[in-house]
Each structure stands twice: as structure tokens, then as C-alpha cells.
Amino acid sequence: MQLAKPELFPEKKTFIWFVLSLCFILCIRLFIEYQSYQNFITKPFYYTYSDVLSSYEKTKGSKRYRVLKLRSDEGFTFYTTSHNKDNYTHKRLRLQIFPNESISFDDYLGTFYVKSRIKEEEVLPATFKDELLRKVAAQHEESALQSFYNAIFFATPLNRDLREKISMLGVSHLVALSGFHLGILWGLLYGLLLLLYRPFQQRYFPYRHALFDVGMVVMIFLGLYLWFVDFPPSLLRSYAMVLLGWLVLLLGMELLSFTFLSTVGVVLVVLFPSLIVSLAFGLSIAGVFYIFLLLQYAKGVKTWIITLILIPFGIFILMLPIVHAVFGVTSVFQLLSPLLSLLFVPFYPLVMLLHLLGMGGILDNALLWLFSLPKESVDNLLPWWSVLGYVGLSIGAVWSRKLFWLVLGLSSSYMIYLFVSV
């Protein structure tokens, strides 16, 4: 009989005190952030240097202007507009911005819009990353595919038309670099390095722990990758979760537990208070929560059934009410999402290899066909009161099997209603 792994917190009292302590620290950090916010919005103007993250043209009546997304040296991420024709690609700007009370504290923690004047422009020199972006793009004729591959490899923004198609297919989570991608990279790198490590370990250092040695190398590599793609927030959160998960495994403790998930969530919010207003963070926590919930009530089910059926299809169904509280886009082609998520696991490392070999365009026709499938969509938002009730029942399902079946029944009924009404 195999002994159960110890939990991260053997006693509930210890866990409660730990969470309360972190919440106290979080309150202090938020108080400091709020003081900075007050100083920020009361200034008549503010000078800053910023890098252009993305730029796109917009039309309002007969007027055209450009929307810029920028990241300042102070760590702000904000939007502004310009009436110049320049697209500001690979530029660093010196701006005079004009904050005011229309910027809420939530906006300040996340992303906000502010009026500005561009004072100086500096063309940034081409980097190694720019060269890689160019080489990937050169393997595709269609701009949509250039945008797609650079997004899944280097976290660059998708062009607007493709982003709408991706949303109608229900696979936005496959394009935005996140824990799903890091999980694939971890499995691939760990498996390959372990094959090389094992013979040397057995012959020269059998006393070493493979999870520590190989895991350390993989974590360093993933950290370098995170730095290379300029620390996108979604990937930064995912890396922190992978790192904490690896440490918990090294300590021999229970990983797949709601206590661990809660601990990770609170620790990350304390480290990065802006996550409080991050929609992506909330959705990622919800996704992991429902994975754990499914695993809790799938004990005894064969591993291949859990991996190929329960996880992809179960998460799709259980997350529908959560997703449709904030994203109303609905298309019948979103039913392909679980299948496409499964196919993405071998697809991701395969297309990486193909691009390294200069053959990245092999699957272009298949992808163009896939992106052409959704023609139209409807908006269907779920009221917040019903979502809050659903979340409450989901939390209760951690302790009650009956509530779990109720939650699954409600989400399944909502799925049927949602896609029959399209």
C-alpha cells in the first residue's frame, strides 16, 4: 500500500493563519499602491519614456487615428492615441501624458487609457528577436499565419481579424502564451533531457535526484524563454505556478490539491497586486480549479480516459458559464475547442521543429481552412448574479459530490442552450 503524500498544510488552522498573514501583507501593498495612484492622477501632466507594444488604426466617422499600447519605464501599461500616420513599429517614445480622475484605481493596477503628446521618437535597433520574427514570417505568405506563429512562439499581438476568428473558434487560450504552452514545453524538455541524463546518472551519480537536476535545467531554460519574450503577464503568472509546483514536488507534498491552488493564487497576488484586476489570471485559476475538481471525482477512471476525454471536454463544459460572464462571442464552431486543444499538444512542438528546419509553411493550407470556418457569431453574455451562484456551487462541490453533479448538470444545460440558440 502506497503512503499518501503529505499536504502542504497538515492542519487547517495553519493554512488559515498563513492566508490571513498574506492578506494582511496584500492590504499593505495595496495601500502603498493607492497612495501612488493618488499622486499619479493629481499631477497635471507627467513625462515618461515608453516602448510601443502594439499599434493599430481605428476609424471614427471620417477621422482616422492610431491606438498605441505602451509600456513605460515605470512599469505602467497604458493605451493612448495618435493622429500621425506613423505606425511606430520598433520605436521608443518620450511622452507627456495627462492623467485625471477618470482613471480608476482598477485601471491603474491594470491597463488604462490616457491622453498624451509625443515629444520624441527613437527608432530601436533590430534585435535577435526581431530577426527570428522576420525568419518565421518569411516562411508564410499570408499575414494571418505570420501573425499566428509569431504569437504562439514569441507572444506578439495577433492582428485584429485573426483575433476575431480565433475567438469564434474558442481557442484564444491556445494562442496567448500561458501555462498550457509552458506545460507542453516542460514535458518535452524534461522528457528529452531525462533520456540523456539517465545513462550518466546510473553510471556516475546514482545518488542524484533526477527531478532536481533535470527540473533545475528546465526551469532555467523556461526562465530564459520568459525573459526572451519580454515577460508577458500571462506567461509570468504561469511560470510562477510551474516553479512553485516543481518545488512542492521536490518536497514530496501533495500537488493536486485545492490548498495548493489557493496558496499559489494568494502568493502570486501578493507578489503582483495587479493580478487582482487581471481577467486572464482569474480565468487561469478557474481553469485549474475545475481540473482539480474533475480529478477529485474521477478517481479510479483510467488515465487515458481522463487525459483524452474528461479533462478537455469537462473543462470546456464547466468553464462555459465563467467565460460567458465576460466574453459574449458565441459560435457553433467553439464546440471544436476541446478537440483543437488536444491536437495542439503535438502541433506546438511539431511546428517549432518545422520552423527550425525552414519548413514552417507545410500546414498553412490546413490552418487557413480552419480559420475560414467561422463566418459569424452572436453575443450571449450570462448575467453576473447567475455566474456568482454558479461559482458558489462550484466551491461547495469541493466537499459535496451531489453539488458536483449539480454543477456539471447546470453547465451542460447551459451549453445546450447556448449552442442551440446560435
- Domain CATH code at residue 97: 2.40.50
Query: Do 88 and 175 reside in the same domain of the chain?
Result: no
Query: Do 117 and 237 reside in the same domain of the chain?
Result: no
3-state DSSP assignment of residue 7:
coil
Half-sphere exposure of 232 (CA within 13 A, CB side): 23
Query: Do 59 and 186 reside in the same domain of the chain?
Result: no
Contact (Cβ atoms closer than 8 angstroms) between residue 311 and residue 294: yes
pLDDT at 420: 84
DSSP label of 174: H
Asked if pLDDT for residue 4 goes beyond 80, the answer is no
* Within-domain flag for 281: yes
Supply angle C-alpha 184, 185, 189, rounded to 5.
Answer: 120
Contact (Cβ atoms closer than 8 angstroms) between residue 333 and residue 305: no
Total number of residues shown for the chain: 422
Query: Do 290 and 406 reside in the same domain of the chain?
Result: yes
CA–CA gap between residue 136 and residue 113 (Å, rounded)? 32
Which is higher by pLDDT, 378 or 397? 397
* Within-domain flag for 328: yes
Query: Do 110 and 174 reside in the same domain of the chain?
Result: no
The total number of structural domains in the chain stands at 2
Average pLDDT over residues 135-150: 92
In the chain, the amino acid numbered 331 is S
Question: Final residue of a domain: which of 125, 140, 160?
Answer: 125
User: Quick one: CA dihedral 402, 405, 409, 415, positive or negative?
Assistant: positive
DSSP label of 57: E
Query: Do 271 and 413 reside in the same domain of the chain?
Result: yes
Contact (Cβ atoms closer than 8 angstroms) between residue 272 and residue 237: yes
Average pLDDT over residues 359-368: 93
Q: Which domain holds residue 200?
A: 169-420
pLDDT at 197: 92
Q: Which residue, among 100, 98, 97, 95, has the nearest Cα to 42 in the 3D structure?
A: 100
Query: Do 198 and 94 reside in the same domain of the chain?
Result: no
Contacts of 249 (CB under 8 A, 6+ apart): 211, 215, 255
Task: Write the pLDDT tens digit of every residue in 47-70.
Answer: 999 988 888 888 877 788 888 888
pLDDT at 5: 62
What is the pTM for the complete model shown? Answer: 0.85
Query: Do 178 and 108 reside in the same domain of the chain?
Result: no
Query: Do 388 and 320 reside in the same domain of the chain?
Result: yes
Contact (Cβ atoms closer than 8 angstroms) between residue 422 and residue 378: yes
* Within-domain flag for 209: yes
Question: Final residue of a domain: which of 125, 160, 182?
Answer: 125
* Within-domain flag for 219: yes
Question: Final residue of a domain: which of 125, 147, 179?
Answer: 125
pLDDT band at 414, cuts 50/70/90? very high
Q: Which residue, among 132, 163, 126, has the nearest Cα to 147 in the 3D structure?
A: 163
Provide the mean pLDDT of the chain.
Answer: 87
Asked if pLDDT for residue 323 goes beyond 80, the answer is yes
3-state DSSP assignment of residue 261:
helix
* Within-domain flag for 336: yes
Asked if pLDDT for residue 1 goes beyond 60, the answer is no
pLDDT band at 348, cuts 50/70/90? very high
Distances 300 to 45, 207, 245, 314, 335 between C-alpha atoms, Å:
62, 34, 24, 17, 28
Average pLDDT over residues 276-296: 87
C-alpha cell at 319: 468553464
Query: Do 270 and 384 reside in the same domain of the chain?
Result: yes
* Within-domain flag for 198: yes
Asked if pLDDT for residue 319 goes beyond 70, the answer is yes
